[in-house]
Chains A and B, each alone.
Chain A
Amino acid sequence: MDNNEPLYIERFSVFQRMTHLLVIVSFLTLAVTGMALKFAMEDWAQWIAYVLGGFSVLGALHRFFAIVTFFYFFLTMILLYTKWRESEKSLLGFIFDSEGLVPNLNDAKELIATLKWFFGGPRPYYGHWTYWEKFDFMAVFWGIAVIGSSGLALWFPVAFSNLLPGYGLNIATIIHSDEALLAAGFIFTIHFYNTHLRPDKFPLDPVIFVGSISVDELKHERPREYDQLVASGELEELVQRQAPAPWLKRMSTVFGLFVVATGSVLIVSIIITMFSYIGKH
């Protein structure tokens, strides 16, 4: 490890990267097609519907990518299950693992440390997952539950009305579209900033596509994880000299920037629209 050449360590497995690719494509399409309906009275929404081939195409795309969403949700459950089996921990022990994805007390401490860092304190001692990354992950879980169930009700309204009164569909519409607005608004602003647009990553952190980061970066970004890997001796096993392939980096950047730009344009349109409403009332 005293070599001058940079060393790399895998952060996301191929399975995780592919899952995230599914998330990106489906989420972006769902957001674009859904927001076009939510804001149908706006020119930009009508333009989207026109360009994509009309309202029925929006509906077909939205339903197709809803299925994709349920599919990657299912894939994630498989991934978690495999990880759990590999970890040889009890189910609760796995779920509430101190380095797992469920927020714990240490995240509250890290949040306070982060706020201190913003005001001039030291950079916090982040581990494998920061609290905002955990929030991103948990929000997708929560989002799929809320948006997915209300979306299924709207997809199969007659079946829904056999279980609950028909006006529940009006409530489901509000929950579905506002939760989606929250999700899209969050991903296209907060997640984009926290992950890609923040000054040390700007304009894009390609790790979710290329999979690995340099050990130096790990040491700087996630010192606790680095220390843990050193202490357990795993670092020696995991490091690789293979840098991500340049073509993969280039494709990741082009694709990633396209997605970030599309999401940003959509959210800016929505923000302008919403401010114009507030202005009118």
Chain B
Amino acid sequence: MTRIGGSITKVACCFILILMVSFGFGGKVLALTDDECLDCHGEEDWTTERDGETISLYVDMDMFNQTVHAENGCISCHEDAAEGEYEHPVPLASVNCANCHDQIGEIYENSDHGKAALDNHDELAPNCDDCHTKHNILPPDNKKSSTYPLNIPLTCGRCHREGTEMTQTHDLNQHNVVENYSMSIHGKGLFVDGLIVTAVCNSCHTAHNVLKASNPESSVNRNNIVETCDQCHVGIVNKFKTSVHSKAITSTDKKLPVCIDCHNSHTISRVSQKDFRLIIAEQCGNCHEYESETYFETYHGRASMLWGGETTAKCSDCHGSHNIMPSNDDGSMINEANIVETCAQCHSGANQSFTTYLTHATHNDRERYPYLFYTFWAMTGLLVGTFAFFGLHTILWIPRGLIDKIKGSGSNGKKTE
């Protein structure tokens, strides 16, 4: 019995030893705990040198515990850290967020940011953490989040602010975007009024699917921009869709305007503000060249060019803006039925005769404006005739006057007669 009992004791001892070994060391191999990570990474002043730069290896767990990933342990992202024992391979591989966020990962991969980073290995292209941070990822409705609306222009501005390495090394269509945005009505809404429903970068460009405007898939491509603005400006877009500028109403080979043709993307301003009112005729003139040019020949257009000239009638004051219709449509502001009222906005007491004033007129077009053409040339003839006669008279007088001056008082009419 003693033998047998001794054998059992030996076996039991061995088994316990094996268990101890496997639980003791094997546990370490299979599940590195956050506490163990923090043995080292909890040291605030722990740093290392990498590519000549001093990098902090400290992870602020108090902060991390407030983030969206607080429930996730270190190794759920840093998978390769788990492979090692107490020390993990250095440096760790980049975290692949797409392991969990697979749908967003796929969108990002196909975006211009993703392609630049993954396909072109552009060091300046943003990875997830460039916008979302690493250990400080907060939900976008948290005021401290890098993706909170108030912080978005700053987050994007880290690269897109004029003068950064990115803007200087990349061929971008638009410049000063962050600066212009800040001065725009959207930017002022955000920064001055703190209105977080105002458009920020990702409202138009999307967060993960950022594509150049030239890409037909882009949210800011001219074919998609109406839908993009429609996210907020529903009423305006509804009006626009029934106007002559809408694809739904007008079928033409010519380019139809979309929101950004009149309202500049990053410098967008309130339509009542003078900087908008001063460029409106040029904006419309991009397509309506003749009307714009001839408008500038009339009183309203001339005055527009002078300081304070924003008050005179601009295209939209008479034609309307989002609801614009051709003059033969009875919904048009310049339709016969409505034009008196339209002029009367400024010219109280306007009547039908008054509305025959030519608001886009040129004296250079004999076919369309014969009265103006002939009046102009009659006046020009008068000017040329008068100046020719008196100009010659003066030119002949100059040498005579000089000679008389040099000679003295000159001869007296009476004496010589």
Tell whether, in the assembled complex, residue B308 and residue A56 are in contact, meaning their CB atoms are under 8 Å apart.
yes
Q: A46-B305, A54-B308, A194-B394 are in contact. Are A122 and B413 (CB under 8 A)?
A: yes
- Taking a contact as CB atoms closer than 8 A, the residue among A46, A115, A125 that contacts B307 in the complex is A46
Task: Report the nearest B residue to A123, measured CB to CB.
Answer: B413
A161 interface residue (CB < 8 Å to B): yes
Tell whether, in the assembled complex, residue B414 and residue A185 are in contact, meaning their CB atoms are under 8 Å apart.
no
Q: Which B residues touch A200, using CB under 8 A?
A: 401, 404-405, 410
Q: Which A residues touch B402, using CB under 8 A?
A: 199
A173 to chain B, nearest CB (A): 6
Tell whether, in the assembled complex, residue A198 and residue B354 are in contact, meaning their CB atoms are under 8 Å apart.
no
Tell whether, in the assembled complex, residue B309 and residue A165 are in contact, meaning their CB atoms are under 8 Å apart.
no
Chain A contacts with B in 11-59, Cβ cutoff 8 A: 36-38, 40-41, 45-46, 49-50, 53-58
Chain A contacts with B in 69-117, Cβ cutoff 8 A: 114-115, 117
Chain A contacts with B in 115-137, Cβ cutoff 8 A: 115, 117-119, 122-126, 132
Q: A37-B303, A170-B372 are in contact. Are A122 and B354 (CB under 8 A)?
A: no
B153 to chain A, nearest CB (A): 33
Task: Report the nearest A residue to B344, measured CB to CB.
Answer: A158
Task: Report the nearest A residue to B386, measured CB to CB.
Answer: A182
Size bracket, chain A contacts: 35 or more
Size bracket, chain B contacts: 35 or more
Task: Report the nearest A residue to B303, measured CB to CB.
Answer: A55
Tell whether, in the assembled complex, residue A49 and residue B306 are in contact, meaning their CB atoms are under 8 Å apart.
yes
Q: A179-B379, A223-B414 are in contact. Are A157 and B401 (CB under 8 A)?
A: no
Tell whether, in the assembled complex, residue A198 and residue B347 are in contact, meaning their CB atoms are under 8 Å apart.
no
- Taking a contact as CB atoms closer than 8 A, the residue among B306, B386, B412, B414 that contacts A36 in the complex is B306
B353 interface residue (CB < 8 Å to A): yes
B345 interface residue (CB < 8 Å to A): no
- Binary interface encoding of chain B residues 344-381 relative to chain A, with 1 for a CB under 8 A from any of its CBs, else 0: 00011111011111100101000001011001100110
B331 interface residue (CB < 8 Å to A): no
A203 to chain B, nearest CB (A): 13
Task: Report the nearest B residue to A160, measured CB to CB.
Answer: B354
Per the bound structure, the CA–CA distance linking A143 and B131 in Å amounts to 71
A249 interface residue (CB < 8 Å to B): no
Chain A contacts with B in 186-214, Cβ cutoff 8 A: 186, 189-190, 193-194, 198-200
Instruction: Report whether over half of chain B's contact residues are helix, strand or loop; otherwise say mixed.
Output: helix
- Binary interface encoding of chain B residues 310-349 relative to chain A, with 1 for a CB under 8 A from any of its CBs, else 0: 0110000000000000000000000000000000000111
Tell whether, in the assembled complex, residue A175 and residue B375 are in contact, meaning their CB atoms are under 8 Å apart.
yes
B89 interface residue (CB < 8 Å to A): no
Tell whether, in the assembled complex, residue B379 and residue A165 are in contact, meaning their CB atoms are under 8 Å apart.
no
**Most chain B CB neighbours (cut-off 10 Å) among A54, A123, A224:** A123
Q: A118-B396, A157-B354 are in contact. Are A173 and B298 (CB under 8 A)?
A: yes
A183 to chain B, nearest CB (A): 10
A184 to chain B, nearest CB (A): 11
Tell whether, in the assembled complex, residue A126 and residue B413 are in contact, meaning their CB atoms are under 8 Å apart.
yes
B383 interface residue (CB < 8 Å to A): yes
Tell whether, in the assembled complex, residue B308 and residue A49 are in contact, meaning their CB atoms are under 8 Å apart.
yes
A117 to chain B, nearest CB (A): 6
Tell whether, in the assembled complex, residue B379 and residue A219 are in contact, meaning their CB atoms are under 8 Å apart.
no
Q: Which B residues touch A56, using CB under 8 A?
A: 308, 311
Q: A46-B306, A166-B353 are in contact. Are A185 and B383 (CB under 8 A)?
A: yes
Q: A157-B347, A167-B358 are in contact. Are A55 and B397 (CB under 8 A)?
A: no
20 contacts between A and B (CB under 8 A): A53-B307, A54-B306, A55-B312, A56-B308, A56-B311, A122-B416, A123-B412, A157-B357, A161-B357, A164-B353, A167-B356, A169-B357, A173-B298, A175-B375, A182-B382, A182-B383, A190-B387, A190-B390, A190-B394, A200-B410
Closest 10 pairs between A and B when the two form their complex, measured CB to CB: A54-B308, A122-B416, A178-B379, A161-B354, A49-B306, A166-B356, A125-B413, A199-B401, A166-B357, A199-B405
